[in-house]
Structure formats: C-alpha cells, structure tokens
C-alpha cells in the first residue's frame, strides 16, 4: 500500500510537470518554473559622443546587447530536464526574441536602431549581438546636452516558463553650435548730410544656442557718421530684437554700397574661434547730392574753363610779339 501511494505521488508530480502552464501576459508571466528569466545588458563606446555632433551628419554607434538565462544545465543537457522545462525531448530548444526601442527621443534629432529586433537561442552562457544606433542632429537641435533612453526587452512568448528580461541605458550627447540669423533691413536707404537718419534693424536668431550679435560698423564709419544702439544684443533661439543705427553722411556722394557685418557668437566673451559673420550689402543714397553738386561743382567747371582760356590768350600774345 505504501509503495502504491509513493508511485501515485510520483505519477501525479510527473503529470503536473508535463501539463501546460497557464498562459499569462508577457509582463506578468508567473508559474512554478518561472523563477528563471532572461538577463539583458547594453554596452556601447561613448568615444564618438565625447565631442559635439556635427549638424546633419549621421553618427553611428555600435550597441552590444548581452543576454543569458539562469536556467540550470540540467534542463539543457538532460532529456528529462528538457521534457520538464521545455516540453520537448529534442535538443532544439525554443528561441527568444529581443526587441530594441528608443523610449525617449531628443527634440531636433533623428535616431533609430537597426535592426530593431533579433532572435536568439535560449542559453545560460553569456552571449552578445551588435546592433547599430544612428543619431542625426538637425538644424533645430539645441547645442545643449540631451539624452535618449534605449530599452531592450526579451519576448519569450515561445517559452512561457521563462520570465521576460529588460534593460535600459541612457545615452547622452550634444550638437555642435550652429549660428544663423534673419536680418530685416531694406536694401536701399536714403540718407542726408544735413540731418541724421535712423535705421531700424530687426534680427531674429535661428541659432541652436543663446548667442550675442554685434554689428561691425567700421566700414560704415569710413563714409558715414554712425551710432548703433545697442552695440551688442543677446538672443535666445527663435527670439527677435531690434538694433537702431543713426547715420549721417560725412561727404558729398550720390550713392554708395557698403557691407554691414553681423558677428554672431555663442561665447559672451566674444571668443574669435566661435564667431560667425553674416554680411548684408546696403545701398546708401544721398538725397542732397544733386543740390550740393550744382552749388559746388558748376563754379569749379567755369573756373577751369576761364583758366584754360587765359592760358590760350597769353600764348597768342606771346606768339605775336615774336
């Protein structure tokens, strides 16, 4: 009787082990044998991310995905173990799919992983596979530190007794400084050498970092009396501010085209290595030119003519005396 009872208990245990386990969701996969799971890790070389990323230039980073399970060798090497755990007597055990995703993307950047998923053999030995992460900063990418979160998850739907594994890694980077401005200024401006003229310049920053903008008025001052207010402005990305130029002609000219330089810099200390220069050509028209020309140039012409006539008369008189 005792032997029969022992045999019955063993039979029931074997029957229980061979019964299919209850199907659960991947996230809440629980059961008698679900103390085993897939372990994942992500490693990558940060050397390519130590320097700011060049705008619109792709950067490829190799992600090495490590994976293993804590399933004992007994379930792999022994036919009874395979029947108990994997429900198969074959040595070809089920596989697992590892899926990769970017959970948190950075504004102004295009980022993707290739491939996004791959299939691996379930093993209790540490193995790895390399995938590629590509990051492309656009002109909208700010020149400030940004993060993206990479997530790896194992999909063990083919082997519901193996708990899902997951891993997340934060990858940090920043874009290089990119300078760009919109200058709202007429191409032709009328000025006078009798009174000052105010020129209003609206400047909008399309740069990806707070920048200072300074006007180089040295070329203007060779021909005009110039006051610029303010001399330097500071703009955040997308911000617009105004600079006013007060000009007056130094000399009598009809029309002159002069280049105005707008110096954009990310460094408040005006480091020459980080400055960008934008040039705007302006045609200055002197509205007093025609009046001044009649007043000063016509008498001069008559004077030249009189002097020439005088020389001719002297020459003729000299010839007659001979």
Structural domain total, the chain: 2
Q: Are residues 261 and 121 in the same domain?
A: no
Give domain status of residue 304, yes or no: no
Question: 230-252: per-residue pLDDT in tens?
Answer: 888 999 999 999 999 888 877 77
Give the CATH number, domain containing residue 80: 2.60.40.10
Q: What is the pLDDT of residues 125-142, one digit of tens each?
A: 899 999 999 999 998 899
In a domain, 19, yes or no: no
Same domain, 205 and 144: no
215 and 274 both lie in a single domain? yes
Pair 158, 194 in one domain: no
CA gap 289, 177 in Å, rounded: 46
d(CA 4, CA 2): 5
Q: What pLDDT was estimated at residue 160?
A: 54
Domain region containing 263: 181-287
Rounded CA separation 41/168 (Å): 8
Residue 125 and residue 220 in one domain: no
At which of 122, 154, 173 does a domain end?
173
Q: Does a structural domain hold residue 302?
A: no
Instruction: Answer yes or no: is 141 within a domain.
Output: yes
Do 141 and 222 lie in one domain? The reply is no
Question: With contact defined as beta carbons under 8 Å apart, do 233 and 264 qualify?
Answer: no
pLDDT at 27: 38
Cα distance between residue 10 and residue 137, in whole Å: 64
Confidence bin at 40 (pLDDT 50/70/90): very high
Mean pLDDT, rounded, for 12-33: 41
C-alpha–C-alpha distance, residues 229 and 5, integer Å? 102
**pLDDT band per the 50, 70, 90 thresholds, residue 31:** very low
The single residue listed with the structure tokens 């007994």 is 74
Task: Compute the mean pLDDT over every residue in the chain, rounded to the nearest whole number.
Answer: 80
What the block records as the tokens of 279 is 């040039």
Is residue 144 domain-shared with residue 233, that is, in the same domain? no
- Asked whether residue 75 falls in the same domain as residue 208, the answer is no
DSSP state of 139: T
């Amino acid at each position: 009787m005792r032997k029969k009872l022992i045999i019955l208990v063993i039979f029931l245990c074997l029957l229980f082990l061979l019964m299919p386990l209850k199907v659960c969701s991947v996230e809440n996969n629980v059961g008698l044998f679900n103390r085993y799971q897939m372990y994942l890790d992500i490693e990558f070389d940060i050397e390519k991310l130590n320097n700011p990323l060049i705008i619109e230039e792709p950067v490829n980073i190799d992600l090495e995905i490590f994976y293993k399970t804590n399933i004992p060798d007994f379930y792999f090497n022994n036919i009874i173990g395979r029947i108990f755990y994997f429900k198969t007597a074959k040595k070809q055990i089920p596989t697992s799919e590892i899926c990769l995703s970017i959970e948190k993307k950075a504004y102004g950047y295009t980022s993707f992983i290739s491939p996004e998923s791959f299939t691996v053999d379930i093993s209790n030995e540490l193995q790895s596979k390399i995938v590629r992460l590509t990051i492309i900063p656009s002109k909208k990418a700010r020149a400030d530190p940004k993060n993206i979160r990479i997530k790896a998850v194992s999909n063990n739907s083919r082997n519901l007794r193996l708990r899902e594994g997951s891993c997340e890694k934060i990858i940090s980077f920043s874009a290089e400084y990119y300078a760009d401005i919109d200058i709202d200024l007429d191409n032709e401006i009328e000025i006078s050498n009798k009174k000052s003229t105010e020129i209003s310049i609206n400047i909008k920053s399309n740069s990806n970092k707070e920048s200072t903008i300074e006007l180089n008025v040295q070329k203007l001052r060779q021909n005009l009396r110039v006051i610029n207010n303010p001399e330097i402005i500071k703009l955040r990305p997308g911000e617009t501010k105004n600079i006013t130029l007060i000009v007056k002609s130094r000399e009598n000219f009809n029309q002159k085209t002069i280049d105005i330089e707008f110096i954009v810099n990310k460094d408040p200390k005006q480091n020459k290595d980080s400055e960008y220069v934008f040039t705007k050509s302006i045609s200055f028209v002197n509205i007093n030119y025609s009046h001044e020309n009649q007043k000063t140039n016509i008498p001069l012409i008559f004077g030249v003519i009189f002097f020439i006539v005088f020389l001719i008369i002297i020459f003729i008189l000299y010839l007659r005396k001979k």
